[in-house]
Amino acid sequence: MYRILIVDDEDAIREGFAEYAQFLGHDVTQAKDGMEAVRLCRAQDFDIILMDIMMPRMDGYTACKEIRKEKDIPVLMLSARSEEYDKLYGFDVGIDDYVTKPFSPREVLARVQVIITRHKGAQAAGPADTAREVYTFGGTVIDMSARTVTVDGARAELTPKEYDLLFFLVRNRGIALSREKILSEVWGYDFYGDDSTVNTHIKMLRAHIAPYEPYITTIRGVGYRFETEQPM
């Protein structure tokens, strides 16, 4: 059983999902806007949050950032907007997945299971289970044990999935990695995304580590490779 918080200003969407999820035995709490979601998260814990973007009083992006200041709860964003910008910004504030409306409650719950399983696995591993790994590429220092990245001495704030992607690329540096390989290893075999998911995260990752983004090279027709030396 999962403790799910669904946040949406449309009653029909909240009630429709809640009815299906509760029928399967999950504990569902509802909120009509971002402010209510933040208050609920301060008062109790949830396994995952399903968050709409456009809501009165406080939008989903702002609510997500406020919640993340205090608690590490995975977020699945719900939106009628499918533009790349909305997805990019959502991943930038730390969401775990993005689904557009109208959606199937069955599909959403399948995504929920994948996200929660991955999130709990990452928590269980923790820094103590990993040998200290620190790599320096140009002015970029990547400390995998501490999950920190600094660029020319300044801390780069990456989302959890951006950290996972960067670490995977660095551990396999010098190797051409297909988009399918990256998806399966970083997101999991049962992830519902496609190649555009990898491309979007690579674009954000390059922006974070600029001016050293040339370390991440595109292999035409294949995928990406993290270089051992910065290309000229």
Same-domain status, 9 and 119:
yes
Rg over alpha carbons for the chain, rounded to the nearest Å, is 18
Rounded to 5°, angle at Cα 60 from 58 and 62: 65
CATH code (residue 212): 1.10.10.10
What distance in Å separates the CA atoms of residue 162 and residue 205, rounded to the nearest whole number? 6
Same-domain status, 64 and 48:
yes
3-state secondary structure of 123: helix
Same-domain status, 51 and 67:
yes
Domain range for 150: 128-226
DSSP state of 206: H
- Rounded to 10°, the helix 84-92/60-68 angle is 20
Same-domain status, 117 and 18:
yes
Digits of tens for pLDDT over the chain (232 positions)? 899 999 999 999 999 999 999 999 999 999 999 999 999 999 999 999 999 999 988 999 899 889 988 888 999 988 877 666 667 777 777 788 888 888 889 889 988 888 888 777 655 544 444 456 788 888 899 998 888 999 998 999 888 888 999 999 998 999 999 998 998 888 875 556 667 888 999 999 999 999 899 999 999 989 999 998 877 6
61 within domain boundaries: yes
Boundary residue ending a domain (125, 143, 176): 125
Predicted structure pTM score? 0.58
Boundary residue ending a domain (85, 107, 125): 125
Same-domain status, 156 and 108:
no
Same-domain status, 64 and 172:
no
What distance in Å separates the CA atoms of residue 142 and residue 210, rounded to the nearest whole number? 14
Total domains, the chain: 2
- Rounded to 10°, the helix 60-68/34-43 angle is 20
What distance in Å separates the CA atoms of residue 232 and residue 215, rounded to the nearest whole number? 10
Same-domain status, 64 and 106:
yes
Boundary residue ending a domain (125, 142, 166): 125
3-state secondary structure of 141: strand
